[in-house]
Structure 1
């Protein structure tokens, strides 16, 4: 799988990592349990099995992202992915559309591979993932742990990266 992601500035990255650590300290699932150097707090803009590094994105990258509420996405029977929503304001929506336009604008190579439907404009729910596969019975403890490490109202943006899960390669997107 490949993805195009917004990465956070150092203070915002540290704030999300503190939330991950609070979950670990509570002996719950957390992205903080993944020691890979490529594991960084991010907001996925597009994902798919063969996404190329986009170029010529025709909208400015927002400098900050407004944090919304705690959300749960299904992760199998009796389990959820725990995330913090990112508010989809006009600037972020325009950038997201521009990323997808740049991703599909390859006239010499033909149509670009399709992105996963839930990352397409109109179907996307921007978020920062905190934990995967949290059991339903552990959700109250997860909420309590996350209250001990609240995220700021806004997260600062450091840039955009392309992640290639097959080669485990990160490429900055300019």
Structure 2
């Protein structure tokens, strides 16, 4: 799978990693456990997404976080994320990404996309209260600063900065 993603500036990246570390310290699932994840917001995902040359809309400079969300991850398990609020700048950029990468999966298309920052995958239902309490105790800023755009190729494990 390939993806086009917004990545965070060093301060926002560190804030998300602090939340990952807090989950790990509480012996809960966390994206910080793998050591290979970077905090990001996926804009498009698909098997054949090209590395874009550029976009016809400006890259957002900030992302406003919304509330905690759960995505289904199998029986009795959830993915724990914070929503990203879609403002006009993010919406326009997301559409621009899909003009240069039209073969994305349906869940990343405009109108179906739920932008988010992921904190943990496969959290057991019985661990959700502890995970939520841990994230509450490690507050994030309301606004994250965007550090750039990247193309991720999961097949070759290659990151290509875009723009």
Identify the TM-score tier after normalising by the shorter chain: over 0.9
Q: Which portions of structure 1, spanning 4 or more consecutive aligned residues, are displaced by more than 6 angstroms?
A: none
> Cα RMSD over matched residues?
0.7
Distance (whole Å) between structure 2 residues aligned to residue 102 and residue 146 of structure 1 = 36
Aligned positions, number: 163
**What pairs up with 1:29-44 in 2 under 5 angstroms?**
29-36=29-36, 39-44=37-42
- Distance apart, 1:80 and its partner CA: 0.3
- Residue aligning to 1:76: 74
Secondary structure at the residue paired with 2:156? Answer: coil
CA distance in 2, matches of 1:13, 1:35: 14
- Alpha-carbon distance in 2 for matches of 1:56, 1:163: 15
What stretches of structure 2 of length at least 5 have no aligned partner? Answer: none
The answer as to whether partners of 1:48 and 1:116 remain within 8 angstroms in 2 is: yes
Tell me, in whole angstroms, the C-alpha distance in 2 between the residues paired with 1:135 and 1:87: 26
Distance 2:101 2:136 in 1: 38
Distance (Å, rounded) in 1 between the aligned partners of 2:67 and 2:52 = 30
Listed as ranges, the gaps of 5+ residues in structure 1 are 105-113
Partner Cα distance (1:19, 1:30) in 2: 9
TM-score computed with the length of structure 1 as normaliser: 0.92
Larger Rg: 1 or 2? 1
